[in-house]
Amino acid sequence: MSSFIYSKLPQVGTTIFTVMSQLAATHNAVNLGQGFPDFPMSAELIACVTKAMQDGANQYTHMNGLPLLREQLCQKMEHLYGTPLHANDHITITPGGTYAIYTAITALLQPGDEVIVFEPCYDSYLPNIIINGGIPVTIALNANDYSIPWDEVNDKITTKTKLIIINSPHNPTGAVLQASDLQQLEAIVAQKGIFVLSDEVYEHLIFDGIAHQSVCRYPNLLQHSMAVFSFGKTYHCTGWKLGYCISTNEQWMQEFRKVHQFNVFSCNTPMQAGLAAYLQHPDAYLTLGTQMQAHRDYFQQLMQSTPLQALPSYGSYFQCYSYAHLSDMPDKEAAVYLTEQYGVATIPVSAFYANGTDNKVLRFCFAKQFATLERAVARLNDLQF
């Protein structure tokens, strides 16, 4: 009998976020790589969770999520996006957005199903498809503005296409989808019976007065969609690993819960109770875009003194910069070079492409205190390759 383990993910190594955070720690670099804020989260939310623990909310809660939190979230979503939702059928609380994406894909895909993915894309999507026997069909976002080439989407749809994954605001580019994009998607889905996984973890991190185009605004589209959210992003607590997903397709949600119940069963109870109490303060999420826009703007202004070239960012934690005019160095090498030689860690954008497409672009996370951004940019002022 062989004791050899056949990898289900033979092409996959350690995620770039861990690689770059470790390198940043080794070289004592300012870490603008992995996306997490370095400013404190709300003391009031911490107090809400502490109170929940002191009040005894310390045992398993419902496998679909604390009922009060689900009700509060359905009200919030209905208020923001206008589609009525039912806490019992349409929402499940998950240990983070990453888990919700994996579970949604696992519940939906049969081996051989094709999934349309737009590149660059968040690094978990492709392994999640492959481990479930699905076939990723990648489409490059338009080079000039990272918008979706809808003609190509129509060309690449086959009888095997099961799912399209979208992400707005977009990681790593900071691009955002417009109403016309969601309308095109709605038409495709209605015609072809395809499903949509909508990664909306940066829903509130959107700038310049742009309205977030959630699939929850489009009742017909939501019937074919699962939308994914993350408390970590909304409340500056990425380490809490708590999120949720929403779908009015009750069959997909039932299948999701079948997988979920034997994977994590239920999520952290006191945090859910604390969040349910804290959701009474809508300002906490309604002001987030304006707050984070100030970080984007300050970072952009500081970076003008470096030779790097800014690409636009309309949302998320991220801003991409090109060094194509400065060097031919591959971007993974460039990210290591900046970390080791200049003490600033970034993420090479080629890590977001299946075939490693390298446009000499680095992703910077600006969800940092102004002092951190100043420290990082001061180190890059005399950047030379």
Give me the amino acid identity at 353: Y
Shortest distance in whole angstroms from residue 201 CB to ligand GLN:
8
CA atoms within 13 A on the CB side of 266: 15
Which of 33, 37, 97, 120 contacts ligand PMP by CB under 6 A?
Answer: 97
Binding segment for ligand PMP among 55-63, 95-103, 104-112, 281-289 (CB under 6 A)? 95-103
Q: Where are the beta strands (DSSP E) in the chain?
A: 30-31, 91-94, 114-119, 135-140, 161-167, 195-199, 225-230, 243-246, 309-310, 318-322, 344-345, 347-348, 361-365
Nearer to ligand GLN, 34 or 161 (CB): 34
Which of 81, 122, 299, 323 contacts ligand PMP by CB under 6 A?
Answer: 122
Q: Does 230 bind ligand PMP (CB under 6 A)?
A: yes
The footprint of ligand GLN (CB under 6 A) covers 15, 17, 34-35, 171
Contact 193, 186 (CB under 8 A): no
With 0-12 / 13-18 / 19 or more C-beta atoms within 10 angstroms meaning exposed / middle / buried, residue 374 is middle
Q: Which among ligand PMP, ligand GLN, none contacts residue 34 (Cβ within 5 to 8 A by kind)?
A: ligand GLN
Nearer to ligand GLN, 167 or 293 (CB): 167
Q: Does 37 bind ligand PMP (CB under 6 A)?
A: no
- Encoded one letter per residue, x for contact with ligand PMP by CB under 6 A and - for no contact, window 190-209 reads ---------x-x--------
Reduced to 3 states (helix: H, G, I; strand: E, B; else coil), residue 233 is helix
Q: Where are the beta strands (DSSP E) in 129-279?
A: 135-140, 161-167, 195-199, 225-230, 243-246
CA atoms within 13 A on the CB side of 63: 13
Shortest distance in whole angstroms from residue 260 CB to ligand PMP:
14
Q: Which among ligand PMP, ligand GLN, none contacts residue 65 (Cβ within 5 to 8 A by kind)?
A: none
Q: How many CB atoms lie within 10 A of CB 82?
A: 12
Residue numbers at the binding site for ligand PMP (CB under 6 A):
35, 96-98, 122, 167, 171, 199, 201, 230, 232, 238, 243
